Amino acid sequence: MFWDQQEIRLAPRERGFHSITDEVSGALPGLPALEVGLLHLQLLHTSASLTLNEDADPDVRHDLDAFLRDLVPGDLPYFRHTLEGPDDMPAHVAASLLGTQLTLAVRDGRLALGTWQGLWLGEHREQGGGRRLMATLNGRRREGL
C-alpha cells in the first residue's frame, strides 16, 4: 500500500474559476506508480473552493462565476463580517456552497476523470493571493514499479 502527502502551492489567480487538473497531477510524483487508489485534496483556505466540472469549454467556468456573483453579491446589508473587504464574506459563502475538499479516483497512474471533467479552483476574492492544497494520495502500486 502506497501513501504520500504533500502540500501543493498554487500561484495567485484573479477572481473566477481556473482549471488546475494538469497542475495538480504534475505535482504528484507518486501518481504514475499507482494502479488503483484515491487522491484527496483539501484546500487550506476559506474563501476559495474546489469543484469538479466540465472542462472542455471555458464558457462553463465563466457562467458558473457569473451565477455565483449573482447568487451571492458583495453588497448584502446583513453581512457583518466586512473587515477584510466587501468580497470576503461572499467568498466564504461561495466556498461553503461549493466545498473545499475533493476525493478523486486514481486508475492506471492517472486521475480517473470523465471525458469532459476537470478540476477547478474557484477563486472568490478579488485579490485572493496564492492558495495551498493538501494532497493525500494512497493506493496500490502497479506491478513492476
Indicate which CATH number applies to the domain containing 12.
2.60.120.460
pLDDT at 83: 86
Higher pLDDT, 83 or 112: 112
Distance CA 27, CA 9 (A): 9
What's the domain range around 69? 2-141
Instruction: Say yes or no to pLDDT of 75 above 90.
Output: no
pLDDT at 145: 64
Percent of the chain whose predicted confidence (pLDDT) is above 90: 90
- Report which secondary-structure segment, H or E, holds 110: strand 110-111
Q: pTM for the full model?
A: 0.94
Report the number of distinct structural domains present in the chain.
Answer: 1
